[in-house]
A and B are shown apart, each in its own frame.
Chain A
């Protein structure tokens, strides 16, 4: 039966040699290699749940009056967009489940990409011949952040409107091109023309998903063509020979299990744990804002950066040259993404290491890289924490302005400390290993 089918397909596609190779393609085994896979499954889930939501979402900002099932907003003025999201949440059966699963999946998607990036960074998996693969991955992280922002901006609730006002201000603050760019994208000054939300919508459901999908395909094709990296656990693993489990039968049930586990957890979150209850925020109006507004976690580093920058615009002769939001909202992410994205080339420039690498470093094996990575992580993470200083004030009563001044000092001092401490720890670990090795060899020798 199976033979018949395979022959039938092969006679018509000539695919058997390729499939045979693919079935015995080797996957080295380590839990951290599965992070990228989880991100892939989340992308699939996002496309599926997102497609379902498009059947009910209305991308119009035309005002209407709400007379739906949610009594507290009865009679409120709002856009059709916001009304349709309330409809999905309260009137469409399984609508809230799919909407919350979509939102959760976006949050976990970005988190998984970040963890995957850290795994690749700290093990040196980005080195030649995989530097392009890495750069494509960093590009997808950037697109995922943008995609998430566009997604929650579409709802046209109070929080999304505030987020868009900030996005508009950051766009406006870009030197020279800011004002033309912002008014082009928005179709006029904020909140923009009636075409703005449909533009946002098509970017969220078509343009950026297609970009991510295309880069993802390229990323996976490059991974497969160079094969996976591996840790050196036994003498069998070398720079020239890869050791692991074949796609079939070994890897397939594991991957299917991971896929089902990922989707299962996300559906449980979507059904049981409330996220972005948009009906509580109310509709957006230019003159309204709410206190305690926090974006989704993956934009926390940007709100933190915007809050940390002290009060100043660059002004020449009464004319503003660089408005304040540029520093935290545009320059900071640009610097972070440049360092992260160009790291393989920076490291090659410093170390002069132009060799091929299929064997991974353990983080301790390269103390300087691990130190630099920790410094960058601590820097971004502190800025991220600074974004929650207002919540910390509410919980613990710590003065907001004192916290901000503390963070302004910490973001400069802590990364430097993190670099030296991490490098030292790595070196000590290596020295300890060498000492242990010397001791065991000596003991072995004395037994002889």
Chain B
């Protein structure tokens, strides 16, 4: 048995020895990287760190293999994150302890090549000697390529209706359209209470248009400053889309102590544009550049709220050329 073992070992040694035979070994010894002293302790640390990486990586696979496990995301992140961090530590130990420290000097590459640059320019210049009207040809060439470029980007116009800004102003609100709530239930004028905030939509229309959602609030009649005939029982309605940057105006600031604090106001949560519902949606703070468009209301025979027309201004954020204070039907 031990003979066999000896033979095996001898064979292996022979094989290994044969492998190691280097065809370039008899070249003169000229080191590029200097020889450094061994550091077995650092090597041991690296070996341990690699082992920890293996443990973490295996842990990741094991945690993943559970069909359901509480805090699985956290364990997965911990395992894979630690694996990388420990691998990083191993790299750093190698870099600082086991790699031969070298500091090399090198001249910066030539910063300019005047002769070569001139040669390049010369080749270009001299190649055009057969042209008699260089400027004209150049202009014509630029014109041709420029026009071709314009032709090539024209299909981009298919992306959308670029020149039809009327679409931006369109809303589904018409005279007589009923107001419905979130669930599609028509709103009764008697349901609208003071110091509260209601969202409403046009009955039977697409809600995902900027022109659809509105805010309904009831302002005490003695506080209502303008457009009394648009506000039955002091109930006023405004477009819910901020005229500044298109967010939904979803905050209703009402005073917690009325005598000293300002009157209720509609506030946009994106940039805090603040509008006064008692004064036709006037901007009283924040960046909005124009008032919140108002929707005139009326109450029908059954007590339901209906639009008495459409908004007095284009809804939503403004653009170049939009006419202010003009209703659109």
Q: Do A311 and B283 touch (CB < 8 A)?
A: yes
Q: Which residues of B contact A239 (CB under 8 A)?
A: 108
Known A254-B91, A320-B319; contact A264-B82, beta-carbon cutoff 8 A: yes
Q: Do A320 and B322 touch (CB < 8 A)?
A: yes
A24 at the interface (CB under 8 A from B): yes
| A23 to B5 CA separation, bound complex (whole angstroms) | 45
| A190 to B241 CA separation, bound complex (whole angstroms) | 11
A293 at the interface (CB under 8 A from B): yes
Q: Which residues of A contact B191 (CB under 8 A)?
A: none
Known A245-B104, A272-B74, A319-B322; contact A264-B87, beta-carbon cutoff 8 A: yes
Which one, B9-17, B137-145, B285-293, is touching chain A?
A: B285-293
**In the assembled complex, how far is the CB of residue B29 from the closest CB belonging to chain A, in whole angstroms?**
15
Selected from B33, B156, B167, B244, the residue in CB contact (under 8 A) with A169 is: B244
Q: Do B248 and A313 touch (CB < 8 A)?
A: no
| A182 to B164 CA separation, bound complex (whole angstroms) | 11
| A269 to B78 CA separation, bound complex (whole angstroms) | 9
Q: Which residues of A contact B77 (CB under 8 A)?
A: 97, 100-101, 267-272
Sorting the interface of chain B by its residue count into under 10, 10 to 19, 20 to 34 or 35 or more gives 35 or more
Q: Do A311 and B286 touch (CB < 8 A)?
A: yes
| A358 to B109 CA separation, bound complex (whole angstroms) | 11
Question: Tally of A-B residue pairs with Cβ under 8 A?
Answer: 305
Q: Which residues of A contact B277 (CB under 8 A)?
A: none
Residue of A whose beta carbon sits closest to that of B211: A189
Interface residues of A in 218-276 (CB under 8 A from B): 225-227, 236, 239-246, 249-250, 253-254, 256-261, 263-272
Interface residues of B in 185-241 (CB under 8 A from A): 199, 201, 207-210, 212-213, 240-241
**In the assembled complex, how far is the CB of residue A106 from the closest CB belonging to chain B, in whole angstroms?**
17
Selected from B64, B210, B288, the residue in CB contact (under 8 A) with A190 is: B210
B85 at the interface (CB under 8 A from A): yes
Q: Do A94 and B95 touch (CB < 8 A)?
A: no
Which one, B37-45, B120-128, B268-276, B294-302, is touching chain A?
A: B268-276
A178 at the interface (CB under 8 A from B): yes
Known A306-B245, A356-B111; contact A286-B164, beta-carbon cutoff 8 A: no
Known A225-B109, A260-B88, A307-B271; contact A244-B104, beta-carbon cutoff 8 A: yes
Q: Which residues of B contact A318 (CB under 8 A)?
A: 323-326
Selected from A179, A270, A306, the residue in CB contact (under 8 A) with B287 is: A306
| A128 to B323 CA separation, bound complex (whole angstroms) | 50
| 18 more A-B residue pairs beyond the given contacts A162-B270, A244-B104, with a C-beta to C-beta distance below 8 A | A97-B73, A168-B246, A168-B317, A179-B168, A180-B163, A184-B159, A188-B167, A190-B210, A227-B109, A241-B107, A253-B92, A261-B88, A264-B82, A287-B240, A288-B248, A318-B324, A323-B320, A324-B288
Listed in ascending order, the chain A residues whose CB lies under 8 Å from chain B are 3, 24, 26, 93-94, 96-97, 100-101, 129, 162, 165-166, 168-170, 172-193, 195, 199, 225-227, 236, 239-246, 249-250, 253-254, 256-261, 263-272, 285-293, 303, 306-313, 315, 318-325, 328-329, 356, 358, 390, 400-401, 404
Listed in ascending order, the chain B residues whose CB lies under 8 Å from chain A are 22-24, 33, 64, 72-78, 80-92, 94-95, 99-109, 111, 156-157, 159-165, 167-168, 170, 199, 201, 207-210, 212-213, 240-241, 244-251, 268-273, 283, 285-290, 316-326
